[in-house]
Amino acid sequence: MALIVQKFGGTSVGTVEKIKNVASRVTATKQAGNDVVVVLSAMSGETNRLVGLAKEAGASSGREYDVVLSTGEQVSIGLLSIILQGMGHEALSMLGSRVPIRTNAHFSAAKIENIGKENILNACKDGKIVVVPGFQGVDAQGNTTTLGRGGSDTTAVALAAALEADLCEIYTDVEGVFTTDPSICSDARKMEKISYDEMLEMASLGAKVLQTRSVQFARRFNVPLMVRSSFTETIGTLVCKEDEDMERAAVSGVTYNKKEAKISVVRVPDRPGVAVKLFKPLSEAGINVDMIVQNISHEGHTDMTFTVTDDDYEEAFALVKETADALEAHDVIADQEIAKLSIVGAGMKTHAGVATKMFETLSEEGINVQMISTSEIKVSVVIDEKYTELAVRVLHDAFGLADSDVKEEEY
Ligand code: ASP
Ligand code: MG
């Protein structure tokens, strides 16, 4: 007998009919002899609707905003519990404050500090299926908090860690983590396994299957995650600690992100403190800078280029322009029509020539590389956005990620 945390995303609980489907999944797991703790998202579109209502009423953050936003999950857990009870099962919905899922008081972006496991474990012992809302917590004063958009994944993983669950299953509308976006590459392949580190790179690069924070949490507490579809029986992708198998292939996946913009500060004086002056206003404004490239200096001047998300672009540009003018830089230029393209793989640590192969593949298609950055298990480049799809396809091919390639290797 195992303890399994099952999390269902918004599309999986989008209608009462779909929640019934969730109920049969949950009861099947329970009837197989496991303890089951269920975590739900709000019904699809609901959180966006609540954000709209709160805005209309005049709030985009703060305590009352969280009171409004947290209700979406409350509806879905109530509905599932009613359905489970109607099927003759003992089910109990348990709000964040009741569990309790303690967070700090940072409304709308609260961090989980600790989770009480007694209430849930006692209910499990009594044979109950416990149904917990994702995304919501409670601060030390008893105020309702929310964890930030997509936070239900983090609730599920944190609960699994606290309860020392054997597995955390994340049910969603895709069958797992793919070698690349299947809508671009028809021969993209579902991965059987992926390491936490690879998943973190993929998640932060735009493969939006899991909230990045939830993967960090899973890595820290070593919670095995299974990402799978709630609409098929197919086994999904296991996100777990790196093992030897994973090193066989140099590259596991190709990802892209079109929602980035590039800003260059041209001919800025090259002296200590310039980078701080340029980037500090951005960090103070909460803007995340992604890639940064500084050219070698010429006659005491250098060029500095970096990328930010499209959402932050305008604010970032204005802030940097102000500093650049004060520093008497020659110019600030920007390009929103760029995409970041990345190859990710734990095997890169032990394979040489991966980056070279990437550059070669792109150059054969006449695709210019504008910026490069690397980590131990990732190579990212910035290219002209219009070549994104082509670049993804040729790289997926070059690194042998397609279905047929793998089969060939096996025989
Ligand atoms: N309902 C919340 C959102 O849409 C949390 C979640 O579903 O993960 O962001
Ligand atoms: Mg989600």
Give CA–CA dist 411/408, Å, rounded.
6
Tell me, yes or no, whether 194 lies in a domain. Answer: no
Ligand 2 centre to CA of 62 (Å) is: 22
Render pLDDT for 186-213 as a digit per residue (tens, 0 to 9).
Answer: 999 999 999 999 999 887 665 578 888 9
Say if residue 149 is in the same domain as residue 252: no
Ligand 1 centre to CA of 198 (Å) is: 23
Tell me, yes or no, whether 29 lies in a domain. Answer: yes
Given 125, 154, 173, the domain boundary residue is: 173
Task: Report residue 410's pLDDT band, with 50, 70 and 90 as the boundaries.
Answer: very low
Give CA–CA dist 194/345, Å, rounded.
9
Query: Structural domain of residue 52, as residue ranges?
Result: 3-173
- Choose the weakest-confidence range: 13-22, 294-303, 313-322: 294-303
Cα-based angle 321, 327, 329 (whole degrees, multiple of 5): 65
Q: How many structural domains does the chain have?
A: 2
Tell me, yes or no, whether 203 lies in a domain. Answer: no
Ligand nearest to the CA of 73: 1
CA dist 19 → 49, 144, 147, 183 (Å) = 19, 25, 23, 27
Question: Could you tell me where the beta strands, DSSP code E, fall in 295-330?
Answer: 301-309
Given 173, 201, 235, the domain boundary residue is: 173
Q: For position 352, what pLDDT does the model report?
A: 85
Given 173, 194, 215, the domain boundary residue is: 173
Tell me, yes or no, whether 358 lies in a domain. Answer: yes
Tell me, yes or no, whether 142 lies in a domain. Answer: yes
What's the residue count for the chain? Answer: 411
Say if residue 147 is in the same domain as residue 265: no
Tell me, yes or no, whether 219 lies in a domain. Answer: no
Residues 244-264 as b or e (16 or more Cβ within 10 Å = b): eebbebbbbbbbbbeebbbbb
Tell me, yes or no, whether 190 lies in a domain. Answer: no
Say if residue 250 is in the same domain as residue 168: no
What is the DSSP annotation of 102-117? EE-S-TTS--EEEE--
Ligand 1 centre to CA of 41 (Å) is: 6
Site to probe by mutation for ligand 1, drawn from 8, 70, 103, 135 as the one with most ligand atoms within 8 Å of Cβ, is: 135
For the cut 90, the answer to whether the pLDDT of residue 16 exceeds it is yes
Tell me, yes or no, whether 202 lies in a domain. Answer: no
Residue 263 and residue 334 in contact, taking contact as beta carbons nearer than 8 Å: yes
CATH number (domain holding residue 273): 3.30.2130.10
Q: Report the SS3 class of residue 48.
A: helix
Q: For position 13, what pLDDT does the model report?
A: 97
Say if residue 169 is in the same domain as residue 249: no
Residue of higher predicted confidence among 296 and 365: 365
Give CA–CA dist 341/318, Å, rounded.
26
